[in-house]
Structure 1
């Protein structure tokens, strides 16, 4: 099975409330097959590191997502 793992930026009201209250106006999230996985990140680099971890996990265990469904 093929997986798409992307990093997406969230701006304004898409930013979680706690981050907005702390003054953060932008955050990054990881999407696996279009669905957000995990938390919002302060930096794109953090999100890219999470993306790499997802890609490694999915390549090592391609049935991992099927079991979660």
Structure 2
């Protein structure tokens, strides 16, 4: 199964209250197969780091599943 991991921007009222309270007018979130995972980030760079971690985790899981299938 192929997983899609994206970074999306949220603006205005889509920004969580805590970030809006600090003056943040935009934030970035990580989407895995279209669903938000984790928190909203105040910078795109933070969200991209989280995206990379998700990709690594999903890749490792896929490799483990493939190895199990080959042993069966």
Q: TM-score normalised by the shorter chain: which range applies?
A: 0.7 to 0.9
Q: TM-score, with normalisation over the residues of structure 2?
A: 0.84
Which has more helix, going by share of residues? 2
Give 1:14 shift: 0.3
Aligned length: 62
Q: TM-score, with normalisation over the residues of structure 1?
A: 0.88
Give 1:41 shift: 0.3
Structure 2 unaligned spans of 5+? 63-72
Question: Please, what is the CA RMSD of the aligned residues?
Answer: 0.5
- Name the counterpart of 1:39: 39
Structure 1 unaligned spans of 5+? 63-69
Give the ranges of 4+ consecutive aligned residues of structure 1 lying more than 3 Å apart after TM superposition. Answer: none
Larger Rg over CA atoms:
2
